[in-house]
């Protein structure tokens, strides 16, 4: 009698499934090491996007709140600092906006210097 692949496949696939599950588990462990960073990045980005939506609706107080939280959550991202500074400038709070613009610029310049030094 001829053996069919269907009779052998469940055993072979079980081994493959175990291997795949192990790889996924190992990858998951790696992601857990960086999970906190990822959660911070995701939260800051979420707040930034909410701020953009509020700004488009001309709801500047809520936009400011979101941008401020994004900039506080990830204070090394010049995009969030710049967005917060821009909304402060929009509502006429120039003296509060200026240091944020400067900080965002310094961070961008450092990142640019790091990129060029790596070449």
- Tens of pLDDT, residues 41-77: 889 999 999 999 999 999 999 999 999 999 999 999 9
Could you report the per-residue pLDDT of 12-23, keeping only the tens digit for each? 545 556 555 544
- 95/102 Cα distance (integer angstroms): 12
Q: How far is 11 from 119, CA to CA, in rounded Å?
A: 51
Break the chain into its structural domains and give their ranges.
34-118
pTM of the shown model: 0.65
Taking domain 34-118, whether its CATH number is 1.25.40.10 is answered by yes
Mean pLDDT of the region 67-89: 95
Residue 28 has pLDDT above 80, yes or no: no
Distance CA 83, CA 64 (A): 9
Enter the DSSP assignment of 3. P
């Amino acid at each position: 009698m001829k053996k069919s692949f269907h009779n052998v496949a469940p055993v072979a696939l079980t081994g493959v499934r175990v291997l795949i599950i192990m790889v996924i588990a190992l990858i998951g462990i790696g992601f857990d090491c960086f999970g906190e960073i990822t959660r911070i990045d995701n939260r800051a980005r979420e707040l930034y996007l909410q701020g953009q939506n509020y700004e488009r609706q001309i709801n500047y107080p809520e936009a400011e709140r979101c941008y401020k939280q994004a900039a506080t959550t990830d204070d090394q991202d010049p995009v969030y600092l710049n967005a917060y500074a821009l909304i402060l400038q929009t509502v006429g709070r120039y003296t509060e906006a200026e240091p944020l613009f400067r900080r965002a610029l310094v961070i961008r310049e450092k990142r640019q210097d790091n990129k060029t030094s790596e070449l």
